[in-house]
Structure 1
């Protein structure tokens, strides 16, 4: 391995362009984020080949991700759908490699390259916020254009607006990064302009976002406060809390009553959360059938009985719930369901290593922002999206990348 890291002569420009596009892509075309990262990674590979250098791959988080991907690959031997398991394992491996390469890019950027990248991201964030405001005023005109929907039709307009749910979540996750950028600005006029843009974006996110997004913003603030504690308390609270969740969540949701009882007992709760409880209870029962090895990577959509619907409620309030729609809408349960106890331990280890890294950050503002992003990611992962969705993992990789690009900057 070469002793010196390859300079980022090409990556400096691709990074700036990518970070300008990221907020807009995240809002309207989330799946394009993984392509954006892949292009940046390929440029970095070309630089490394040119200078005969390799990224520093012997890092605990990366090794744990590779171990998890290897276990996911092995699960194809007993998975319900071996092809889906191999595809999921390949996607996870790819995300790990992308993380390694973009972090290597961040470390190689000089001060001018970092400054250019941050300006580009800030401009892209402002553009994405403006586009979201436009959609809120126009009833989803831009969202309809990106998705080829005719918003004059009520049903297609609703589909266009729903297509923004993932993007609004990503915009919320990017907000702490913008706060860190604003924190490092010297000129009061720029700082106030940045705060105004951040306030506008948060207002749109909270107004538009689902309950999970609102809870994620609250979790971001609580997690950031925890990191202000002295000594090893942040590590103990966050790490201990994560371990407790991984071990106890499948047991806790096993005691949830049947679907009709759930609807009657928690009638005042949002219907989506009531449905989640039923999904989690069903998932917990399937976990008990294969607790050690799981059903195989990406097997959630193929679980026996998962495509069956039940009716709850009465009269005009009657609802139809699916036992397991695509995935459990909870990362911890998905770890257990698909990869068993071994996979849950490995995936939990990846998160624990992340907690340890953020608690060790010497720069307090960067530590607070990293914790805020972590808090948001936890809530969203426990309530909304699938654990292995590439666009979601790409969004988290981008946050880590941005935090590392900002690392050496004292003032912008």
Structure 2
């Protein structure tokens, strides 16, 4: 970004405090109401819209996002799902989210060093606080969450209380990489990382949620690889991500033809068997319209074969947007991850790679592509990584140096 494009000091300070405010609300939202991430990021984007800047490094990812969103919106014309009103229109939401969520990410990049440092301290301590809450929930069967529901005269069944409280594990897993580096680099409290780890691992085991553990494993491995091989690891992961989106239906077809699919479906736990059933049906219906897809939100119309979405981002995009959508998604992830490649090691970029892989892992098993709160959480993780990329490491007895200009690989969707 050129000096002429730099935001003024007032806008920079404003952006930092908006980001800090959003991160301050993150623990309570992540614990009690994850769906509120969508309005939170929307508000943050609206408040910082003047900071929106498209930089040179943003263009490959931006072109892929715009292509995907426009194709998705256009596919509504032949989708069997019809929105009842504008508020139910996924196409309209995607267009607005693309602008506003990216504006929030730009705010983290444009923030002044002082306000951004405050925001990163809030991130570190806030995510650690969420870890403490999740640890208590994991050891007590979500007693805190159920107590809150009873206090507001809205009691909930214990099993549903566990299910709702466990959503905080996904939030914790997505934000922990950036929060961990912020704890070391800015908050100077590396012991917070242990709290985050315990708050993620223990409840995942006690409450029976394996997806956060899978994402944590992928996240750690990807981050370590990017730290050890900063040039080649991001490129290798970019190729892997692109292959995932381009070959997902073929993988299902090949495994089914080998006979292993049915065997696995009968041996895995019920939750995974349900996922495999959705994947099987999705792969079958993809063959009907492999090029253009069935249209945006068509997954909602395939019940009982598929409930709401296939629980796999690649298969959902193939099913709804066809090969064209899958290619756009593949380009997005390839450009995003490959853009993090550097000749020298950079902990902030390694954390960004780890965060991206965590999001991709969850998308492969758990959430629908277009869920507003999930996209918003991705944007929140992205702006956290963006803030770290712009915030230099502090050294004892030394003043801050100017932040480096490179901002490629800001993680968003």
Q: TM class, shorter-chain normalised?
A: 0.7 to 0.9
Q: Displacement of 1:263 after TM fit?
A: 5.9
Q: How many residues align?
A: 384
Aligned mates of 2:239, 2:296 — CA distance in 1? 26
> Is 1:95 matched up with 2:97?
yes
Does the CA-based 8 Å contact 2:293-2:318 persist in structure 1?
yes
Alignment of 1:108-123 (within 5 A): 108-123=110-125
Match of 1:174 in 2: 175
Q: Displacement of 1:250 after TM fit?
A: 0.1
Match of 2:161 in 1: 160
Match of 1:40 in 2: 44
**Residue 176 and residue 4 in structure 1: after superposition, are their counterparts in 2 closer, same or farther (change >3 A)?**
closer
Alignment of 1:137-216 (within 5 A): 137-147=139-149, 156-184=157-185, 190-192=189-191, 194-207=192-205, 208=207, 210-216=209-215
**Residue 152 and residue 73 in structure 1: after superposition, are their counterparts in 2 closer, same or farther (change >3 A)?**
closer
Does the CA-based 8 Å contact 1:172-1:205 persist in structure 2?
no
Q: Displacement of 1:209 after TM fit?
A: 5.6
Match of 2:401 in 1: none
Does the CA-based 8 Å contact 2:76-2:91 persist in structure 1?
no
Q: Which runs of 5+ in 1 are unaligned?
A: 309-322
Does the CA-based 8 Å contact 1:140-1:160 persist in structure 2?
yes
Does the CA-based 8 Å contact 1:298-1:338 persist in structure 2?
yes
* From 53, 60, 64, the counterpart of 1:55: 53
Q: Displacement of 1:205 after TM fit?
A: 4.5
Match of 1:72 in 2: 72
Match of 1:315 in 2: none
Q: Displacement of 1:230 after TM fit?
A: 4.1
- Note the alpha carbon deviations across 1:166-216, whole angstroms, 9 max, x for none: 2211111211112211331585xx333x23323332333532462221111
Q: Displacement of 1:358 after TM fit?
A: 2.3
CA RMSD of aligned residues (A): 3.0
> Is 1:411 matched up with 2:390?
no
Match of 2:406 in 1: none
**Residue 10 and residue 182 in structure 1: after superposition, are their counterparts in 2 closer, same or farther (change >3 A)?**
closer
Does the CA-based 8 Å contact 1:20-1:124 persist in structure 2?
yes
- Note the alpha carbon deviations across 1:359-394, whole angstroms, 9 max, x for none: 249552112211221221121111111111111111
Q: Displacement of 1:63 after TM fit?
A: 3.1
Match of 1:130 in 2: 132
Q: Displacement of 1:92 after TM fit?
A: 1.9
Q: Which runs of 5+ in 2 are unaligned?
A: 396-413
Q: Displacement of 1:15 after TM fit?
A: 1.9
Q: Displacement of 1:108 after TM fit?
A: 2.1
Aligned mates of 2:315, 2:171 — CA distance in 1? 22
Q: Displacement of 1:262 after TM fit?
A: 5.4
Aligned mates of 1:177, 1:231 — CA distance in 2? 17
Aligned mates of 1:100, 1:265 — CA distance in 2? 40
Aligned mates of 1:238, 1:329 — CA distance in 2? 21
**Residue 199 and residue 346 in structure 1: after superposition, are their counterparts in 2 closer, same or farther (change >3 A)?**
closer
Alignment of 1:19-30 (within 5 A): 19-30=23-34
Match of 2:402 in 1: none
Match of 1:313 in 2: none
Q: Displacement of 1:164 after TM fit?
A: 2.2
Q: Displacement of 1:66 after TM fit?
A: 1.9
